[in-house]
A and B are shown apart, each in its own frame.
Chain A
Amino acid sequence: MVRFIVVICIAIFTQNSIAQTRSAASLQFALDHIEVGLEHNLVGERVVGHLFAGIANQNLPGVFRNYTFRIGAAYTAYGDSQNQICVNGGLGVYFFKHEQEVNAVPMSDIGVRYSHTLKRLPKHGGLVQISYRCGRARYKQQFSSDVLDIFTMSDFRVTPLHIAIGYLFKF
C-alpha cells in the first residue's frame, strides 16, 4: 500500500503538464466553516499564494459566530486545461468567540485540493478541499450568579479533518 502511494505521488509530482497561470476567487463550504479566498500565482506557474477569510460555527452548530483568517501557498502537482490537483498549506488565526470574550487560536493546515473548470465556461469551476488542521487553546471561563461564581478552564481544538466543497472563479 505504501509503495503504491509513493508511486502515485512520484507520478503526480513529476508529470509535465503545465499548470495554468491564474488569479482566482473561491467560496468554500464545510459543515462548520464558510470561507472566501483569493489566490494568485507567486512563483512560476506552479506555486500559488492564497488568502482566506471565513466564518465558522464549531462551538455552537448552526451559529456562525467565529471568524478565521488564513494565508498560505499551494503547489500545483498536476494540472491540465480543466483539472488541477494542488498540495497546499498555511497558517492562520481562528477567532473563537464565546459569551465573555474572543480567543485567538493560532492554526496551521495542510491539505490537497482538486479543482475542475467547466469546458464551456472556463472561468467557472468547482473544487474539493481536504485538509488536516491543527490549532488548540486553553481558556478560562467565568460564570456569576447570586449564589456562586464558577471558574473553569476549557479546551478548544480546531476540528482536525476539514472537508469542503466550493466554487472557483478565475479572472
Chain B
Amino acid sequence: MIPTAIRDYVRPASVEEAWTILTEPGKTVRVVGGGIDVHLFRVPDVTALVDLTALDLSYVRGEDGIAIGATTTFTEILESAPAADYLDGILLEVLEQVASPLQRNQGTIGGTLGSAHPWSDVIPLLLVLDAELTVFDGELRTTSLVQMLTDRASGVRPLITEVRLPAAPAGADCAFAAFTATGFDVAILNCAVYAELEGERCTAARVAVGGTPALATRLAGIEERLVGEALDEVSIERAADLAGEAIDARDDRRATAEYRRTLTRAGVARCLRRIAARGGEVR
C-alpha cells in the first residue's frame, strides 16, 4: 500500500455540502471525479478527498446543444447518442483517442477540466466548441471554459458541475489534430479549429493550440484574420503560419519550441483543409 496523509474520504449528498468540505479552513482537500489525477499526481499534504458520485452528475443530454454532467465518464460520453450526433461526431473522434479504454471507463469530463493539464486533448477541443460551464462556489453560476481557465491561473477553483456545448448552426464544422510519439502517449502538441462557412466564406472561426507546452489557449488574432476569408490554400497557409508564430512555444524534454511551431503550422493547416474539404461536400 502506498502511504498517504489522507484521513477522510467523503461522499457528500449535495454540491453545497461538497463545497463546505472543500473550503474548510486549514485542510487540503481534493475532488475525486474518477480519481485518476488525484491518485497519479499525489499532493503529499492532501488530508481529505471529496467523491462526487452521489451528486447525480453523470448524464449526457442533447437539448439545444449538449449538456454533460461533471462526473460523466469518457466512455459514457462516447456511448451517448447526443455526443455521436454533435457536429458530425467530433466528440467521438477526439475522446476515443484519450488515454486507454480502462482509463476512459473511469476518467470524467469534470475531472479532466479540473486538472487542466497542458497536454489535454479535450481542452483545445472544448475551447473551440465555446464550452460553457456550470460551477459552484457558494452559489451555482455559469462561466465560460475560457474564463474558468483564466480564473484557475489566479487560484480561483470552483466546483465544476456541468459542461455545455452550444447547438452548432448550419455550416458549422470542427477539426482536431494531435501529434504524439506513440498512440498511447499524450500529445507533444495539439490543436482544434471550429469554423462556420457560408458558401466558401468563413463567417466565424475559433482556433486553439495546446501542449505548447503551456495549457491550451485560443489564438484570437488568427481567428479574426480568418473571418471573411474564403478557406482556400492561400488563406489556410497564412493562418497556419501566423498560428506557428503566435503560440507560446517553449522547449521541454519532449520537443523543442521550433518543432512545436512546425507542428502548429501543420496541425492548423490540416484542420482548416479538412473543414474546407467537407464544406465543399456539404455545398
* A-B complex is real: no
